[in-house]
């Protein structure tokens, strides 16, 4: 008889646990293979370090964490789009190129926003330390 408890692979709890395992597996796979994701993780780690160093406010933490999580999420989605396009066609196709370029464009837009958020939060604090 199915208890529906997490970990047995059946029932809602088991399916939920499996979905987390699959998601973590996908993230791990992308981290190992995607240089841009590795760069974003490094930048996010630096931002967290600066946040701790400068004892930023709760509101600033929210913006920093949203910028980091949003950036990583978009990079993962971009990777998924690239994989699906590569799966569908091995030869050059202008629409496949557009799909990849548009997904990369979304990442670029959010990266610019994240950089701006970091500049707004950290530049005044850095300026105080080093003067003008």
- How far apart are alpha carbons 131 and 81 in whole angstroms? 45
101 is in an annotated binding site: yes
100 is in an annotated binding site: yes
60 is catalytic: no
In the set 75, 76, 79, 111, the catalytic residue is 75
90 is in an annotated binding site: no
22 is in an annotated binding site: yes
Alpha helix stretches (DSSP H) within 1-132:
11-33, 35-53, 58-88, 94-130
Q: DSSP string covering 68-93, please?
A: HHHHHHHHHHHHHHHHHHHHH-SS--
34 is in an annotated binding site: yes
Binding-site residues for substrate, in ranges, read 15, 75
| Catalytically active residues, by annotation | 75
**Residue ranges for the binding site?**
15, 22, 34, 75, 82, 91-93, 100-101
Specify binding-site residues for ATP.
15, 22, 34, 82, 91-93, 100-101
């Amino acid at each position: 008889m199915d208890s529906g408890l997490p970990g047995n692979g059946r029932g809602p709890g088991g399916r939920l646990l499996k979905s987390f395992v699959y998601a973590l597996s996908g993230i791990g796979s992308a981290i190992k293979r995607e240089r841009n994701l590795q760069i974003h993780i490094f930048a996010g780690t630096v931002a967290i370090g600066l946040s701790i160093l400068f004892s930023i406010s709760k509101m600033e933490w929210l913006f920093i964490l949203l910028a980091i999580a949003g950036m990583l999420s978009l990079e993962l989605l971009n990777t998924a789009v690239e994989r699906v396009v590569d799966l569908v066609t091995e030869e050059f196709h202008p629409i496949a190129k557009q799909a990849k370029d548009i997904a990369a464009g979304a990442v670029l837009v959010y990266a610019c926003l994240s950089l701006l958020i970091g500049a707004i939060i950290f530049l005044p604090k850095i300026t105080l330390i080093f003067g003008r």
